[in-house]
């Protein structure tokens, strides 16, 4: 069967019945994310025009305040999910606390909560380099019809029912999983539809790319330093190539297609690492595992970590299976 003309909307409906908790609710939720992604994409594409149409803090021609793009993306995703009334709670990297949506109303039977990093790699916006959005979906653990609590958000990553990202790159793509593999859809901007362009995405088991902010090298743990030297060694299929965009979504996306490893380790400055467990690491780890890759904090599987707080950070090593295992081996050896 040719997948060439299948749109994301069709794909979501066709695969709804294959989903074990199928009720249509998750499909509506994915459709809302699809819609918000298109709106944000439209705005991201205009980012280079800020000098002409106004920057954050300015007032635009309609008399509206211009927003920073990460605030804009945050508002759009939250608005879209709230208005359509299909989730009972949202937590965002941009918000201090989680948002409860009519969940105290017993008529609201919504089961799902969403966690988002609305604009990932935001420092790349000003220089016309790819950014992304990351999302993560769970079923609430507290009873429907009662207010959501922190407990609903602090679930282990392995409890995710869906996760994905949008990459606003040379093409805009939406890549997601509901636990049955990873599929990628490319936006045709002329028509405004996402088409299945990358069915069943898989990390190659081995890769030749390592992605890390080497400016922090001196502060890295010894295991990571040793692994980086291993990557650079002239031996066998090495040295590997270094590629670091500084936008997790884009670095992950490239590594999944070409084979590679992404690392944001702990450092003396950031002893917990930098990336957020709930908004960045868990969704990417779920995608990685669904695409035959691996994600670890150096010792532990990311998806097994029990979160303690919403904005918790964690060291993150993710990508081609054999590369991640090698990095873990170096971490272990340096501990001994």
Work out whether 251 is an interface residue with Mn ion (CB under 5 A): no
Binding residues for Mn ion, rule CB under 5 A, total: 4
Work out whether 94 is an interface residue with ligand AHG (CB under 6 A): no
203 Cα distance to chain centroid: 16
The binder of Mn ion chosen from 81, 117, 148, 165 (CB under 5 A)? 117
Q: What is the DSSP letter of 238?
A: P
Residue closest to Mn ion, measured at CB: 120
The encoded tokens of residue 24 equal 């249509």
Give the per-residue contact string, 266-285, with ligand AHG (x = CB under 6 A; - = no): --------x-----------
Which one, 28 or 211, has the nearer CB to ligand AHG?
211
Burial category of 2 from C-beta neighbours within 10 Å (exposed 0-12, middle 13-18, buried 19 and up)? exposed
Which residues make Cβ contacts (< 8 Å) with residue 251, sequence separation at least 6? 211, 243, 244, 245, 262
Task: Consult the annotation and say whether 213 binds a ligand.
Answer: yes
**Cα–Cα distance between 151 and 141 in angstroms, integer?**
7
Which one, 195 or 262, has the nearer CB to ligand AHG?
262
Name which of 76, 137, 122, 93 is nearest 250 in CA terms. 122
Per the document, the length of the chain is: 336
Binding residues for ligand AHG, rule CB under 6 A, total: 10
Find the binding residues for ligand AHG in span 209-228 (CB under 6 A): 213
The encoded tokens of residue 320 equal 């081609």
Which one, 179 or 246, has the nearer CB to ligand AHG?
246
- Residue 28's φ and ψ, nearest 5 degrees, are -60, -40
246 Cα distance to chain centroid: 14
Q: Which stretch binds Mn ion (CB under 5 A): 77-85, 90-98, 135-143, 314-322?
A: 90-98
Q: How far is the CB of 263 from Mn ion (least distance, A)?
A: 15
Task: Consult the annotation and say whether 120 binds a ligand.
Answer: yes
Task: Consult the annotation and say whether 282 binds a ligand.
Answer: no
Work out whether 122 is an interface residue with ligand AHG (CB under 6 A): yes
Binding site for Mn ion (CB under 5 A): 93, 117, 119-120
């Amino acid at each position: 069967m040719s997948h060439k003309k299948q749109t994301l909307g069709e794909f979501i409906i066709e695969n709804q019945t294959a989903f074990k908790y199928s009720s249509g609710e998750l499909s509506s939720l994915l459709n809302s994310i699809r819609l918000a992604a298109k709106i944000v994409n439209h705005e991201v594409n205009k980012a280079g025009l800020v000098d002409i149409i106004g920057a954050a803090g300015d007032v635009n021609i309609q008399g509206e305040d211009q927003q920073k793009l990460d605030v804009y993306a945050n508002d759009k995703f939250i608005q879209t999910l709230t208005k359509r009334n299909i989730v009972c709670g949202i937590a965002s990297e941009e918000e201090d606390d989680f948002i409860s949506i009519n969940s105290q109303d017993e008529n609201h039977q919504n089961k799902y909560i969403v966690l988002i990093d609305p604009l990932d790699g935001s420092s790349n916006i000003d220089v016309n380099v790819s950014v992304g959005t990351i999302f993560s979906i769970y079923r609430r653990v507290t009873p429907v019809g009662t207010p959501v609590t922190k407990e609903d958000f602090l679930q282990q990553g392995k409890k995710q029912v869906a996760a994905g990202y949008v990459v606003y790159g040379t093409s805009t793509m939406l890549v997601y999983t509901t636990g049955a593999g990873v599929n990628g859809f490319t936006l045709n901007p002329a028509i405004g539809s996402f088409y299945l362009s990358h069915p069943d995405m898989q990390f190659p088991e081995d890769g030749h790319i390592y992605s890390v902010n080497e400016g922090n090298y001196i502060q890295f743990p010894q295991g990571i330093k040793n692994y980086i030297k291993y990557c650079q060694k002239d031996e066998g299929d090495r040295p590997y190539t270094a590629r670091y965009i500084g936008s997790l979504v884009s670095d992950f996306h490239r590594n999944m297609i070409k084979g590679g490893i992404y690392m944001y380790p702990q450092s003396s400055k950031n002893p917990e690492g930098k990336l957020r467990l709930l908004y960045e690491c868990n969704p990417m780890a779920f995608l990685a595992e669904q695409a035959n890759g691996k994600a670890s904090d150096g010792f532990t599987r990311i998806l097994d970590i029990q979160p303690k707080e919403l904005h918790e950070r964690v060291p993150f090593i993710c990508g081609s299976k054999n590369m991640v295992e090698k990095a873990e081996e170096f971490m272990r050896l340096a501990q001994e």
